[in-house]
Structure 1
Amino acid sequence: MEPGAGTNLCPCSSYRVTRSLPWTWGAAGSTPSSSTRFPPSPTTSSRCWISWLLFLITVIFGHSYGGIPISLAMENFPGKISVAVFVSAYMPNCSDPPATLIQEFLKRSSTNSLMDCEITFDHQTSQKLPISAAFGPEYMAKMYANCPSEDLELAKTMVRPSLIFLEELSKTCLLSEERYGAVKRCYVICEEDEVMEEEFQRYIIEKSPPEDVVSIAGAGHMIMLAKPQELCSCLTELIS
């Protein structure tokens, strides 16, 4: 695809299809012509809109904690996702609850490694599970290592407590081989990640082997900011 008129490349920009795409177009099963524009106009048929939306979710991408929600999406919509890419992310298996990986990460993390993070615990339960976390400036400096300083400073202004959902993710049978396991998975290792270290990433891969594994040298946790070109090339290769 190539961008349509204008230079706005936000997700709602128009795109012109220049090759046939792997979807069924309308009842006749034809593919859109080279003059078809995306997203469709408000007056376009509902079939066109549905086809466009299906195209958007053909490939999904999860980074860090984002590996959990895309795993749940794979379980719920396996027929609509052709490839799921996990980038230095939690990638659950079908045998253990997703929370197992989060608990393993916390077990491996010393108090000093969490630095100035503010973690809230649920003291109303016997397990006293962590329920939310807010990153402190020192921890974020480690998270944004190798990134432009302005990205780190901007991120500091946007910090909010994030819910962990550990209790909900501790339930069994959230993921199945028939649905989650049917979607192709790829994993991108960030070799210099100071948050989710390479050793832990390889532990995740060992517990839930994907079809493809790619390792990017010199990549920190926020690889999309530190090495965007390398990540883009890697993703293009994985989903091609």
Structure 2
Amino acid sequence: MEGMKKHFVLVHGGWCWYKLKPLLEAAGHKVTTFDLAASGIDLRKIEQLHTLHDYTLPLFKLMESLPQEEKVILVGHSFGGMNLGLVMEKYPEKIYVAVFLAAFMPDSNHISSYVLDEYYEQTPEEKWLDTQFLPYGSPEEQLTSMTFGPYLANKLYQLCSPEDVALGLSLVRSSSLFRKDLSKAKYLTDEGYGSVKRVYIMCSEDKGMPKEFGRWQIDNIGVTEEKEIKGADHMAMLSMPKELCDILFEIAHKYNNPSSTHLNNYLLLLSNRK
């Protein structure tokens, strides 16, 4: 059983994993949580971030610090799926499997803003409720910040406890979707990002990343496996941590052989394009 212990890296907000982290650790797994740039307790401000790469720097730093022989299970929540994409591209050999939890899942076929652009197409303006979108940086850069308001937060946390909602609202900071940056290039390739095994987890009551959009993303690029947490809202790690933990246990048990990762996923990509 000792060989089954894994290192989970949970991405997109260090605080929100506080229920899940001890459950994984109680089973002997190593768990790393942290804040991305200009998020949580990270001292940077959104004005200092111009690209998704800037936002992802703490995750790059973590991956670079891993011992040469160590591999991790990456778990990206919500926009954290975009951060996973960059790291999967750069360090495919360091990852057992990437888990997209109610997350954006980019592809390696289009420009890097493709899934975000599609989400905007499918999400009418009124569904953003009290979210604030404001310009920042120089006029030439055309950067846009995004700040969630309490109405949207309550929509995303609709099945969470009042305490968790209050905690989440107290930690809200301005961020960005970095669509301008991502629209300029195709950052992901089949050989890098596409070679890592992907598991997508949908949440049945998710009002932020609806099942229909999750299904569209899966059909768009394909996954090694898909799962669903019934009765979970967008914040499954808060509303149903035990159920999420059980799924991650299954994943840790199943995806413990990195030797066939690249070949299996390359074949999956080819079959999806026929």
Say yes or no: does 1:113 pair with 2:127: yes
* Match among 68, 76, 86 for residue 90 of structure 2: 76
Give the secondary-structure state (helix, strand or coil) at the position aligned to 1:163: coil
Structure 1 partner of 2:170? 157
The aligned counterpart of 2:161 is: 148
Q: 1:182 aligns with which of 177, 180, 195?
A: 195
1: CA distance, partners of 2:69 / 2:237: 25
Query: Paired residue for 1:208?
Result: 221
Question: 1:68 deviation in Å?
Answer: 0.5
In structure 2, relative to structure 1, the CA distance for the partners of 1:110 and 1:50 (3 Å cut) is closer
In 2, the alpha carbon distance for the partners of 1:115 and 1:193 equals 16
- Separation of aligned partners in 2, 1:74 and 1:193: 25
3-state SS of paired residue (1:120): strand
- For residue 211 of structure 2, the aligned residue among 189, 194, 198 is 198
Q: Deviation of residue 73 (structure 1)?
A: 0.3
Distance, in Å, in 1 between the alignment partners of 2:153 and 2:182 is 25
- By how many angstroms is 1:204 displaced? 0.8
May I ask how many residue pairs the two structures share in their alignment?
196
Percent identity (aligned):
34
Gaps of 5+ in 1: 3-8, 18-48
Distance 1:60 1:225 in 2: 18
Q: Distance in 1 between matches of 2:125 and 2:196?
A: 37
RMSD in angstroms over aligned alpha carbons? 2.5
- Matches of 1:138 and 1:130, distance apart in 2: 24
The answer (yes or no) to whether the contact 1:67–1:90 under 8 Å persists in 2 is yes
1:129/1:166 contact within 8 Å kept: no
Q: Is the 8 A contact 2:112 2:186 kept in 1?
A: no
Match of 1:225 in 2: 238
Superposition map of 1:1-240 within 5 A: 51=67, 55=70, 57-121=71-135, 124=139, 131-240=144-253
**Does the 8 Å contact 1:186/1:212 carry over to 2?**
yes
Cα separation, 2, equivalents of 1:130 and 1:103? 15
Q: Report the structure number with the largest CA radius of gyration.
A: 1
Q: With structure 2 as the length reference, what TM-score do the two structures score? A: 0.66
* Counterpart code for 1:166: R
Separation in 1 of the partners of 2:231 and 2:242?
Answer: 13
- How far did residue 145 of structure 1 move? 1.1
Q: Please say if residues 68 and 90 of structure 1, whose CA atoms lie closer than 8 Å, have aligned partners that are also in contact.
A: yes
Contact 1:130 1:164 (C-alpha < 8 Å) held by counterparts: no
Contact conserved, 1:78 with 1:180, CA < 8 A, in 2? yes
AA partner of residue 107 (structure 1): E
Quick check: which one's helix share is greater? 2
Structure 1 outlier segments of 4+, above 2 Å: 121-125
Q: Relative contact order, CA 8 A, sep 6+: which one is greater?
A: 2
The offset of 1:174, in angstroms, is 0.6
Report the CA distance between 1:215 and its aligned residue. Answer: 1.2
- Normalised by the size of structure 1, how large is the TM-score? 0.74
What is the CA-CA distance between 1:129 and the residue it aligns to?
Answer: 6.0
